[in-house]
Amino acid sequence: MTARDEILKRAREALGGGFQQPATPPEARIVLPEIPREARIEPFFRAVTNLAGKAYLAKSYADAREYVAAVIGEGPAVASNAPLLAESGITYLPGVQAGFTDLQALRQACASAAFGITSAEFALADTGTLVMLSSAEEARMISLLPPVHIAVVPRVRILTGLDELLWLVPQPGLSTSSMVLITGPSRTADIEQILVRGVHGPGEVHVLVI
Amino acid sequence: MRRVSIFVTCIVDQLFPQIGMAMATVLERLGYAVDFPEDQTCCGQPAFNTGYRDEARSVARHFLKVFRDAEIIVVPSGSCTSMIAHHYQELFADEPERLAEARRLEPRVWEFSKFLTEVAQVEDVGARLDKVVAFHDSCHGLRELGIKEGPRRLLSRVRGLTLREMDTAEECCGFGGTFSVKFPEISGGMARTKIDSIVRCGAEAVVGVDASCLMQIRGALSRAGLPVETMHLAEVLAHR
Amino acid sequence: MSGPPQEKIHETLVNIRLQTAIYTSTARLADHRRTALSTLPEFEELRTQANLIKRHTIENLGFYLEQFESNAKAHGAQVVWARDADEVADFVWDLSKRKNAQLIVKSKSMTSEEIDLNERLAHHDLEPVETDLGEYIIQLAGERPYHIVAPALHKTRYDVADLFSEKLGVPREVEIEKQTRIARSVLREKFLAADIGISGANFLIADSGAVTIVENEGNIRLTTTAPKIHVVIAGIEKIIPRAQDLAVFLKLLGRSGTGQALTVYTSFLTGPRRAEEIDGPDELYIVLLDNGRTRLLADREKRESLYCIRCGACLNHCPVYRKIGGHNYPWVYSGPIGAIITPQYMGVAHEPWLPFASSLCGACGEVCPVKIDIPKLLLDLRAEVHADEAERGQGRLERLGFRVWAWVMRHPRLYEIAGLMASAVLPEDRWFARAPGLLNHGPLGAWLSQRDLPPVGKSFRQMWRERRKAAE
């Protein structure tokens, strides 16, 4: 008997029956607070800064470009292929490499970059979270390897919270192999419960809302 | 005249009789006629907690017999109350008649502080005690019966009494029945953590609603040579 | 069949530094939890929902396992079923050989500790490198995790300094931030060179065939992104029905475990990378592990321990764990959850003392985010231990003691006589530290080893009779 057959058989016997379609699972609370879009920015920023992230409201593409340029200086920075970054001109700032489609090249660039610049699919206002979906436009490593992560989010993408995300996207797997919720810079308290940032992931996170 | 029966519990009967007397005094002052059914012994909790269900059941049957006709039973212990009011129903799950008796018992059995605040509906019993005290939240009382604010309200009405909060009020004192003698070093360690925080808060006495906790705490205080007393809530409320 | 590790427990209790480390670390985690819950007014409602969803899932486990498998495969994952530790290790070894893997990196997974995966792979010279900082430290030290969520809770910066300089050949460094940088750069190389990344899973999502994993460091993201092959090892009880259920479970897990509304990274992984995606693993294997879970499933009264989401809150609130720490428990799972699942997995005869190492204070049940009634299960297990002992003809003396005790308690006159005897023999006017002669052994002696006993004088019933007589 295969392991699969045996385990399912044991489970069946343990529960005293076959495996019919069970009744609908009990309710999972999903609450969508009525908060107008503009009113979400301030709590979002507060949540981001409470976690030692840096938040910035860009008034224009030029403003956003200036902010990023000030942060990255001469780089080296890697930017994702997100159209928003190209449209805003961030991709073309000096010191920024972008347009990677080859895994090895991307990996090398990210491993030596000081800054990773990405867009974000959504943001969650109540927890200060960035929602990253892996795609042809957004590689996973850019927000992971470099020690500083800069994310640019359109303000219409700020959701009220996790509930709204799961309500909007009940099946993330239909569009991507990886949805990652990023809530603050990487951290640990594994040694003597003392907080240290930037363990494996970025220790510094900038969130630009456009 | 309203009547209540009292179940003093085996530990109060044998080791802390003054707690039983104090409780009876407070009840009488409030106008209750107090009845003490003499055949009472124990609720069976020690056996139940140690995993000897048959033995616990046999003692519980005796309890049911003794208190069959009692209208209200007042108990100076959170853990014994929860044993009788809740765990008897588990014990007699397979005995329909006794299970029915246990169910009928549930609304009639009252831990002392809850009896005062919810049945007698009093908070000021005319007590006086010039002391600085801290209240220890006994685990079963706190988590199974929700006893937390009641005793503090009662204590706040005692003239001359100052109530302090120790920073480990809700942490277990380490008694746990046979745990205290099966794992004495861990139990003793837990007691010492408790008395350290008692000393820190500067209380002259620790007050509680469970004599077993008070025995554990006082035993540790005594061993450490500390002059802090322990008093059952009943003793405080009987004091004038 | 063994007794409690009295020597080791004693050493832990007298080690002041360790006592302080355990006490303050757990206090901090408990405090963070309390603060985080103060901003979650719907906490009790979520707990109830979590309990009901878990019960529904566990009671229909076969159905959801099949649904998960089908959806996982539809997205390109391969699903492997493993009956026990050997089958998992064999699978990983076999896969490594087929893929010519030289280096495996691994993120924190209690399930992998449960099956001694590292030891088994070490036999093939393929021991995975732990990448979670706490796990990395204890791997270097050759120890087990001290706590479900904080594996190196018992280590000081000086321990870590010694460890790093000895095992990594770096100059001794006692600053915690610098120690973290050292680990970061050593492990960064490993991530980028590794052929296989092994992770656990916090939740397996049946309707999506997806795996959800939470972390703060970023090592899980790296483990599941950088190597070409990702292997997930998860107990079959990790299943929840829908992605939307995460709205309940993620809120409970972060807050209960570390006091965070959400951990820094929450990964929702569905199959290996898609054709158009630039990075991510080419292959994803999800190993569904039984290892006795189906046995727990069969026990209707106690199967609720399978609801556990491994948050560690029960440890942080357990007064016993906070005194004896994680290494005095016989298995990788410590604290209250360990105390109930160890006998469930290993049988009550394995470490029969374990369910008794509790004062039944109930703090664990009070904080459990999925409402496992741990105190009730401890009581059930105690009864089972004695039933098992009775069958083997063991534990006769204690049982006899309770039989006699019950007999006395059913006979009020005997009970009174026993009381009179005690007061005749023991001091009646003061708290005392020593009993007469032989009474200093057994339970009385155990009590007196730690604290005094009260005087034994007149009983309440005697006083009551006297008072009544005086009134007449």
pLDDT band at A108 (very low <50, low <70, confident <90, very high): very high
Q: With pLDDT > 90 as the criterion, what percentage of chain C qualifies?
A: 96
Does the pLDDT at position C230 exceed 90?
yes
Nearest by CB to C410, which of B62, B180, B182? B62
- d(C-alpha A178, C-alpha A133), whole Å: 6
> How do the domains of chain B map onto residue ranges?
2-117, 125-238
Note the pLDDT of residue A20.
74
pLDDT of residue A202: 98
pLDDT at A197 over 60: yes
Nearest to A180 among C150, C210, C267 (CB): C267
Q: What is the DSSP letter of C207?
A: T
Does any CB of chain C come closer than 8 Å to the CB of residue B191?
yes
> In sequence order, what are the residues at sequence separation of 6 or more whose Cβ sits closer than 8 angstroms to the Cβ of residue C179?
A191, C157, C160, C161, C164, C173
Give Cα C126 distance to the centre of its chain. 27
Q: Give the whole-angstrom CA distance, residue C391 versus residue C349.
A: 11
**Average of per-residue pLDDT across A24-39:** 94
ipTM: 0.97
C379 at B interface, C-beta within 8 A: yes
Cα distance between residue C99 and residue C81, in whole Å: 20
pLDDT (tens digit per residue) in C85-132: 999 999 999 999 999 999 999 999 999 999 999 999 999 999 999 999
Among chain C residues, the shortest Cα distance to A185 is held by C264
- Count of helices and strands (H, E) across chain A: 6, 12
What is d(CA C366, CA B142) in angstroms, rounded to the nearest whole number? 11
> Does the pLDDT at position C257 exceed 90?
yes
pLDDT of residue C472: 84
Is it the case that residue A119 has pLDDT exceeding 80? yes
Q: Where are the domains of chain C?
A: 1-39+312-394, 42-291, 397-471
Give me the sign of the Cα torsion angle C325, C327, C331, C333: positive
% of chain A residues with pLDDT over 70? 99
> Rounded distance, CA C383 to CA C432, Å?
34
CATH no. of C1-39+312-394: 1.10.1060
Going B61 to C357 to C153 to C115, the CA torsion angle's sign is negative
Q: Which residue has the tokens 């981001």?
A: A48
Measure A209 CA to nearest chain C CA, in Å. Answer: 20
Element (H, E) at C16: helix C16-38
With cut-offs at 50, 70 and 90, classify the pLDDT of residue A18: low
**Under-70 pLDDT residues of chain B:** none
The share of chain C scoring above pLDDT 70, in percent, equals 100
| C357/B181 touch (CB, cutoff 8 Å), yes or no | no
CA distances from C447 to B177, C161, C216 (A): 11, 42, 45
pLDDT number for residue C149:
87
Chain C 298-327, residues with CB within 8 Å of chain A CB atoms: 298
Q: Are B137 and B169 in contact (CB under 8 A)?
A: yes
Average pLDDT in the C8-24 region?
Answer: 95
Look at B183 and C410 and tell me if their CB atoms are within 8 Å: no
- H or E segment at B132? strand B128-135
In the beta sheet, which residues pair with residue B159? Answer: B128
**C433 near B CB under 8 A:** yes
Q: Can you give the C-alpha Rg of chain C in angstroms?
A: 26
Dihedral, A69, A71, A77, A79 alpha carbons, nearest 10: -70
Given a cut of 60, whether residue C1 has pLDDT beyond it is no
Phi and psi (nearest 5°) for B234? Answer: -60, -40
- Average confidence (pLDDT) over A95-123: 96
Nearest-angstrom CA–CA distance, C324 and C412: 41
CB contact under 8 A, A200 and C270: no
Q: Which band of pLDDT confidence, cut at 50, 70 and 90, is reported for residue C438?
A: confident
Q: How would DSSP label each residue in A103-171?
A: HHHHHHHHHH-SEEEEE-SEEETTTTEEEEE-SSS--SGGGTSSSEEEEEE-GGGEESSHHHHHHH-S-
**Domain range B2-117, CATH class:** alpha beta
Between CA B135 and CA B126 the distance in angstroms is: 19
User: Which one has a higher pLDDT value, C392 or A18?
Assistant: C392
Put simply, the answer to whether C279 touches A107 (Cβ < 8 Å) is: yes
Chains that touch B (3 or more CB pairs under 8 A): C
Average predicted confidence (pLDDT) for chain A: 96
Neighbours of chain C (3+ CB pairs under 8 A): A, B
Span C365-375, average pLDDT: 98
Just give the CATH number of B125-238. 3.40.50.10700
The torsion angles phi and psi of C280, rounded to 5 degrees, stand at 120, 165
C42-291, CATH topology level:
Rossmann fold (3.40.50)
Q: Give C472: exposed, middle or buried? Use CB within 10 Å, 0-12, 13-18, 19+.
A: exposed
Q: Is the Cβ of C354 closer than 8 Å to some Cβ of chain B?
A: no
Q: Which among C353, C423, C451 is the nearest to B188, CB-wise?
A: C451
Specify burial of residue C347 (Cβ count, 10 A radius: 0-12, 13-18, 19+): middle
Distance CA B179, CA A128 (A): 46
**Mind listing the pLDDT tens digit for each residue in C141-164?**
999 999 988 999 999 999 999 999
Question: Does residue B79 belong to the interface with chain C, where contact is any CB pair within 8 Å?
Answer: no
Model confidence at C77, pLDDT cuts 50, 70, 90, reads very high
**Which residues lie across from A209 on neighbouring strands?**
A57, A153
Q: C211 has which bridge partners?
A: C204, C269
d(CA C343, CA C357): 13
CATH no., domain A57-209: 3.40.50.10420
**C347 touches B at CB < 8 Å:** no
Instruction: Identify all chain C residues contacting B179, using CB atoms and an 8 Å cutoff.
Output: 356-360
Let me know how long chain B is: 240
Residue A90 has pLDDT above 80, yes or no: yes
Provide the phi-psi class of A169: left if phi over 0, else alpha when psi is between -120 and 50, else beta.
beta
Cα nearest neighbour of B15 on chain C:
C456
pLDDT recorded at residue B99: 97
Residue C35 scores a pLDDT above 60: yes
Return the number of other C-beta atoms located less than 10 Å from residue B2's C-beta.
Answer: 12
Residues 6+ apart with CB under 8 A from C458: B17, C423
Is C319:C363 a contact under the CB 8 Å cutoff? yes
Cα gap A54→A45, rounded to integer Å? 8
Q: Do B190 and C323 touch (CB under 8 A)?
A: yes
Task: Please state, in angstroms and rounded to a whole number, the distance separating the CA atoms of residues C210 and C270.
Answer: 4
Q: Which residues contact C250 (CB under 8 A, 6 or more apart)?
A: A162, C212, C214, C262, C266
